[in-house]
Amino acid sequence: MLLFAEGAEHAPLIVEFINKYLGEPVYRFELAWTKPVWDTIFGRFGSSAEKMFGEYTPENAIPWYTIMFVIACLLSVFVIWLLRDKLSEGDPSNSQMTLEAGYLYLFGRAEEIIGPHAARYYPVVATFAVLILISNLMGQFPMFVAPTASVNVTFALAITSFIYYNYVGIHENGLINHIAHFTGPRLPLILTILITPLIFSVEIISNLIRPFTLGIRLFANMFSDEQIFTQITNLYPPITQVGVPLLLTVLGVFVAIVQTIVFTFLSMIYISEVTHAPHDHIHGGEHNEHTGEAIATAHV
């Protein structure tokens, strides 16, 4: 794990507990298999695995952010199951109405951003939203740390989003057309020769840095939230440890929700750039949208 990516100054008790029983076999596996590989790679640059990742010990064999993220995944499944409760059309429970309200809000935003075909991609979008929200909120509870306070986790989420929307673009449009959309609008021949390569270069670079910007944005906000809480509550104890943590928790919940919305909405924007509503073309005749209502006479 990268030293600069550490968001937890002290490992939570649950991390120490898991490493106590599972750390030794994982530690032996790392020494036998992963450490030699990293030593070979970093050795070419005059470094080593321990200089980059820190000392290898059974106590830190399983990083805290890995354990916290696995817990976040399990909690996400549990929370959805809990909110589902006993689904009823006639007499919905409070948990069911909460789930429906969240579902309708997020689905409405997805339709606004992606389009009427948003339902096709909504399961992935909703998974991002639930998982990131729970990951962010974990830092507000004792004995837990937000896994998104580690750049390793946020980069993994950002790379997943990047791979998914590019996969969608290639699947829908084909590889050639997906790459072609980076060239911008069609221009006259002279402008195509002069400007299109520049547009293509800028678009490719801006797309390639999206995982970095997505990951850093989420990490920086959650990491700073963890640090602010720790520094302020320990500023002048016990005075700053009475009442102040409650105010900071409210702020932390707000930050967690906002960062979830930002990451999810940006992912939806990226999907909208590479997808289009399904439609049928009849050359020289009608152009039927998937609703069957739109009719055009344009000849493609």
Residue 83 one-letter amino acid = L
Residue 87, both tokens: 């689904």
Tens digit of pLDDT for each residue in 6-29?
A: 555 567 889 999 999 999 999 999
Kindly list the domain boundaries of the chain, sorted by start residue. Answer: 1-62, 64-289
202 confidence band (pLDDT: 50, 70, 90):
very high
Count other C-beta atoms under 10 Å from residue 92's C-beta.
15
Tens digit of pLDDT for each residue in 264-290?
A: 999 999 999 998 776 533 333 333 333
Residue 46, both tokens: 């005059």
Tens digit of pLDDT for each residue in 29-60?
A: 999 999 999 999 999 999 998 888 888 999 99
- Give, in order, the Cα–Cα distances in Å from 143 to each of 31, 68, 72, 109, 139: 29, 10, 13, 34, 9
Q: Strands 279-281, 287-289: parallel, antiparallel or unpaired by DSSP?
A: antiparallel
CA dihedral 109, 115, 117, 119 (to 10 degrees): -10
